[in-house]
Structure 1
Amino acid sequence: MYEKNFPHKRYQETLDFLEKHISKDSQLLDLGVENPLTERLKSTGYQVENTKGEDLDLDFSSVIHSNANVVTAFEIFEHLIAPFNVLREIKADKLVTSIPLRLWFSPAYRSKTDKWDRHYHEFEDWQFDWLLEKAGWKIIDSKKWTNPVNKIGIRPLLRKITPRYYIVYAERVS
């Protein structure tokens, strides 16, 4: 079982979903720089290569030149202005991606200290599904989960019952 505190719950939910659909002998290209989740995936046996921090709205070279048969994108598309473009450039035939869902009771995330750490998009599930479908992907499976916090108040109560994360397994449409 997973630890219930952030980000461990998110990491375990992500790993469980990935293991359900993707074998460990797959070559993964993870969109985004190496991070603690990358290390967790590697420690469980996945072969993961990350992009190098390039602006994926403008530079698709890592995606175009990758030989990975699976692309993962965990909480990355909400940071892009135009995620459709990089989704169309992916050569792999399998995609596992997760996003934070838009919460009606909380504004979009924006760091006050880091100009890149902000959410341009916070999708509703149907919007993300539509984006994937328009970019040439067929959704095979999906899952949502909550991100409760140990605080008192209306928002913490809503976070206990409102799904915050959405993960999708999709395959390229021929």
Structure 2
Amino acid sequence: MYENTYPKKRFRITLEFLKTHAPPPSEILDLGVENPFSKLLSSEGYSVENTKGQDLDLDQSQLKASSAKITTAFEIFEHLLSPLEVLKSLQSEYLFASVPLKLWFAKAYKSKTDPWDRHYHEFEHWQFDWLLDKAGWEIIDSKSFTHPANKIGIRPILRLFTPRYYLVCCKRKSS
């Protein structure tokens, strides 16, 4: 089903990773409004509740009230000013998250048309690991992968072998 879904490679890798550690049916709180990937999760048998578009830096009430065993946050934390507070507010036992990695040959992403579509953080592996650890999460598994661009040039060539995304499966640490 997801073979024809854009962006094909990222969706395929993320779904396979999630299914390896938390096969459907599972109840998920997905950070971010409903999107093509959360719809894909629903079609694959997951029960998905999305956040409502609130500014998660300022309002974590839905996160604190959720009873979902799993939280997913795919390409969300780079948009937040304070991802530590959001990570600490999650009530779930498990967290699946992905972030774009900082690339030495490209600046952080900033949309020219949408003032909200920008990255306040682009992480190196160790930075995201440290953030998760500080927020009370233990990484169980992780995966990095590339995301080539269908363009010609030096940067697209570098994207063929330079990991762009970092995906983790975490369990809440015991107190």
Q: TM > 0.5 between the two?
A: yes
Is the alpha carbon distance of 1:26 and 1:6 closer, same or farther for their aligned partners in structure 2, counting shifts above 3 Å?
Answer: closer
Alignment-derived partner of residue 103 in structure 2:
103
Answer with 6-15 or 99-108: which moved more. 6-15
Deviations 1:120-151 (A, max 9, x none): 00000110000000000000000011011122
Shift of 1:154: 0.7
Q: CA RMSD in A?
A: 1.5
AA of the residue aligned to 1:118: R
Is the alpha carbon distance of 1:149 and 1:88 closer, same or farther for their aligned partners in structure 2, counting shifts above 3 Å?
Answer: same
> Which secondary structure does the structure 2 equivalent of 1:161 belong to?
coil
List aligned pairs for 1:1-174, cutoff 5 A: 3=3, 7-174=7-174
TM-score (norm 1): 0.96
C-alpha distance in structure 2 between counterparts of 1:40 and 1:3, whole Å: 11
Is there any run of 5+ residues in structure 2 with no aligned partner, and where?
A: none
Moved over 6 A (4+): none
Preserved contact between residue 57 and residue 80 of structure 2 (Cα < 8 Å): yes
AA of the residue aligned to 2:119: H
Is there any run of 5+ residues in structure 1 with no aligned partner, and where?
A: none
C-alpha distance in structure 2 between counterparts of 1:129 and 1:6, whole Å: 28
Shift of 1:23: 2.6
Identity among equivalent positions (%) equals 61
C-alpha distance in structure 2 between counterparts of 1:142 and 1:9, whole Å: 17
> Which secondary structure does the structure 2 equivalent of 1:150 belong to?
coil
TM-score (norm 2): 0.96
